[in-house]
Chains A and B, each alone.
Chain A
Amino acid sequence: MMADYLPTFFLLLMALSVLIYAVLDGYDLGVGILLPMNNVEHRHQMIASIGPFWDANETWLVLAVGILLIAFPQAHNIVLRELYLPAAIMLIGLILRGVAFDFRAKAVTQYQPLWDKVFRLGSLIAALSQGFMLGMYVVGFEYSFITICFSLLTAFGAAAAYVYIGGAWLVLKTEGELQKFAAKKARRAGWLMGLSFIAISTVNPWLNPEVAERWFTMPGALVVLLIPVMCGLIWLLVDQYLKYVPVQKDRACWVPFVGGIAIFSFCLIGFAYSYYPYVIPGQLTAEEAASATKSLQFVFYGVVIVLPVILAYTVLSYRIFKGKTNELNYY
């Protein structure tokens, strides 16, 4: 009985992990890309704002890939075979970003700007390659001129989206000059993100007729077309807020970040609507790719028990470090 729902359960769980990863490590990577090489003060504060979180944030990627591996091993094999080099490059990016965190604070002081550059480069490489992989995934891993151009577009879009949420995070966590700087960058990234999302949404139905059919068939279309409308409205609200940063008394400094989360969530819902129940678009459904029921059951119980605990202490950690980052913060 339950067995019938397990593949869907894990597909949704994977989507949730990807969403949480995109938001959480998205802001880490966005902050990394934004590091200004001409302002060491700002760099310190920006990195301090993500210091307590980045490691746990990155773990959501491990969970997402883990679920792909546990629940849909066949799909895992296909995805990682087809995306072999982009995945390797993304990993190099994540390695560089992760180690720069610690080396910048501990290595010989004169190397610090170098490690900051490594930090920024690593973040950029990771963001771009994730976007590129997403594009390739959507087009079914066909390497041709058009699909590579499309994937470069998604790569650019992902990087812009990460900078957007990274800037929004900084508006929430910092104040003064840095907050103004972050708002300006977030706003600009928001425009780039919006434009590339529009481009992606225009090209994608044309590349994937199946998706077009889902989106433009009545009566479903009436409901799902709310998604871009909602995204647009939230985007506009955030854009207007960012324009007026610093706001008096820093009122509602959470608006851009929460708005960013909402936009990311709507995009994911749209994505899910386009491809459900496929785990690899057009090739493999969740059911077809699912591993043995016994194995899924065994993990299912673990997820049901452990995931709420993980979410609880994640919330706890954000409560411990709530407020602006420029307070004393060290070990």
Chain B
Amino acid sequence: MLEAANETTLILSRIQFALNISFHILFPTITIAMAWLLFFFKIRHHISGHPVWMRAYRFWVKIFALTFALGVVSGITMSFQFGTNWPGFMEKVGNIAGPLLGYEVLTAFFMEATFLGAMLFGIKRLPPWLHTLSTFLVAIGTSLSAFWILALNSWMHTPQGFEMIDGVAHATDWWEIIFNPSFPYRFFHMLIASGLTACFLVMGVSAYRIIKGDEKKAPQVTLRAAAFLAAVLIPVQIFVGDLHGLNTLKHQPQKVAAMEGVWETQKGVPLLLFALPDEDERTNHFEVGIPNIASLILTHDLDGEIKGLNEFQGKHPPVAPVFWGFRIMVGLGVIMLFVSWMTSWQLLRHQRVSPIMLKVIVATTFSGWVATLAGWYVTEIGRQPYLVTGVLTTEQAATNIAASNVGISLALYAIVYVVLLIAYIHTLFYMARKSVKVEEFVTPSESWRESDNNNVEDSSGQTKSEEVKVL
């Protein structure tokens, strides 16, 4: 039955899955870390009692809510994709994948969703500490959900702790399944990626507010916090990324060969800065590289040997997207390093960021998104032709429904996602511009015991009484 999956259905299903998961990951990448940033703002407010932290919280929690909603709805779509387009996945490894997904729903989804309600709408109904606790539980929930889904994803890269009985995977050791070899690296690499993505978003939008003439303290404070955090995270990310690369070399050498564009097994491999990999002739054109550096990075030895793609003929991923995805990710990492360090240096030295730097920061608002997507493309395309390394190929897992059905659903999703992405980015900057015009507002904790009728403006420019209706 599964062999009957035709070529068009397979291609369309792959495009649809890539579209769905690419769109989906944009939002959790922000919210996983931003939940912790919001928690940090609230803690700072509790400690210092300074209202600016509450103002920072109140502006960013709105963006968090919007981002979270987009993550939730696109995530629900994801949970249906396995059954609709990849039935072979559940048939073959459902015994492993199902429970991991189940634990994600049970331990993470309900917790984050329920306490998000308390966090967003309960600020007046809950004592401040309980509200901060809700924020904390939302943050725990988002990170737990990353834990389970990355455990499953990592298992698909480096499966262990199972046995095959009649062609179906059965669990033998759950501990081994969850803590499979690539999981710790992938998990921390993704958490830090989320941290950087959220930091650059916060920096970008804060800088945008300052450029637009916002002289209040809140954007200054958030820009500073995010820049310092990013400046610390970037070197950590480079270190963790390197460890992840070494782990990949051990377990999926064909992926690393594609990342580095190495065709023949050789010693003293150069680090290619530019090349056009050609799979037909199995060589690179227009190579520009630094001798021996790839060997040094991957084996920590200038003359270290790296296995070439030709050793894995027919069982290695398409080279060009992996090769280029990797370069985009690393290139953006370097830019982010430069931007966060320059910003931090200016802040430490002059207590302010220069106008040119502000523009640079705005330009890099979404650099985390691009880097994260590029990184995911490297690792996921790098797993091909397998869906689960050595166990199941992508082709075997595909559905056999009519291509026209997949075509229709793909077109629907594509239209909706494009509109939503435009609306999201547009709304983000609209909210920033709107907050520029608003005078300092009294935060709820300041007005905790005041009457409900005083028309104090908040950062979105609505009076309190209006806000009741809007939210």
Binding site for B on A (CB under 8 A): 40-41, 44-45, 48, 51-53, 55-56, 58-59, 61-63, 65-71, 73-74, 76-77, 79-81, 84-85, 87-89, 91-92, 94-96, 98-99, 101-108, 291-292, 294-295, 298-299, 302-303, 306-307, 310, 313-314, 317, 320-321, 326-331
Contact = CB atoms under 8 A, between A and B. Distances in A.
Contact of A81 (B77, B114, B401, B413): B401
B110 interface: yes
B416 interface: yes
Interface stretch (B57-65, B181-189, B377-385): B57-65
Contacts of A52: 117-118, 120-122
Interface in B86-140: 87, 90-91, 94-96, 98-99, 101-103, 105-107, 109-111, 113-126
A321 B114 contact: no
B170 interface: yes
Contacts of B464: 328, 330
Contacts of B83: 65, 68-69, 76-77, 79-81
Contacts of A295: 94-96, 98-99, 170-171
B77 A95 contact: yes
19 contacts: A48-B468, A63-B110, A69-B83, A71-B98, A76-B83, A77-B90, A80-B84, A88-B413, A91-B80, A95-B420, A99-B423, A106-B430, A298-B174, A299-B102, A306-B107, A307-B106, A313-B110, A313-B114, A331-B120
Interface string B66-77: 101110111111
B387 to A, nearest CB: 15
B460 interface: yes
A98 B416 contact: no
B416 to A, nearest CB: 6
Nearest to A319: B125
B79 interface: yes
A94 B117 contact: no
A63 B405 CA distance: 26
Given A62-B79, A84-B401, A70 B99 contact: yes
B467 interface: yes
Given A295-B171, A298-B171, A307-B106, 6 more contacts: A41-B469, A52-B122, A66-B79, A70-B101, A80-B87, A108-B427
Given A77-B90, A331-B65, A58 B76 contact: yes
Q: What's the interface size class on B, roughly?
A: 35 or more
A41 B466 CA distance: 10
B412 interface: yes
A99 to B, nearest CB: 6
Contacts of A104: 470
A192 B409 CA distance: 31
B431 interface: yes
> Would you call the interface of chain B mostly helix, strand, loop, or mixed?
helix
A94 B110 CA distance: 17
B114 A314 contact: yes
Given A70-B98, A294-B95, A99 B420 contact: yes
Interface in B411-449: 412-413, 416, 420, 423, 426-427, 430-431
Given A48-B469, A59-B113, A76 B90 contact: yes
A331 B469 contact: no
B345 interface: no
Given A91-B77, A105-B471, A73 B98 contact: yes
A107 B110 contact: no
Nearest to A70: B98
Contacts of A95: 73-74, 76-77, 416, 420
A15 B171 CA distance: 26
A99 B70 contact: yes
Nearest to A310: B110
B89 to A, nearest CB: 9
Nearest to A104: B470
B117 A321 contact: yes
Contact of B103 (A91, A103, A302): A302
B74 A81 contact: no
A22 B53 CA distance: 40
Nearest to A80: B83
Nearest to B16: A88
A328 B452 contact: yes
A2 B58 CA distance: 50
B448 to A, nearest CB: 12
A57 B208 CA distance: 36
B470 A44 contact: yes
A103 B126 contact: no
> What 6 pairs between A and B have smallest CB-CB spacing?
A44-B469, A80-B83, A70-B98, A52-B117, A73-B94, A98-B73
A67 B470 CA distance: 36
Given A330-B124, A330-B468, A331-B58, A87 B80 contact: yes
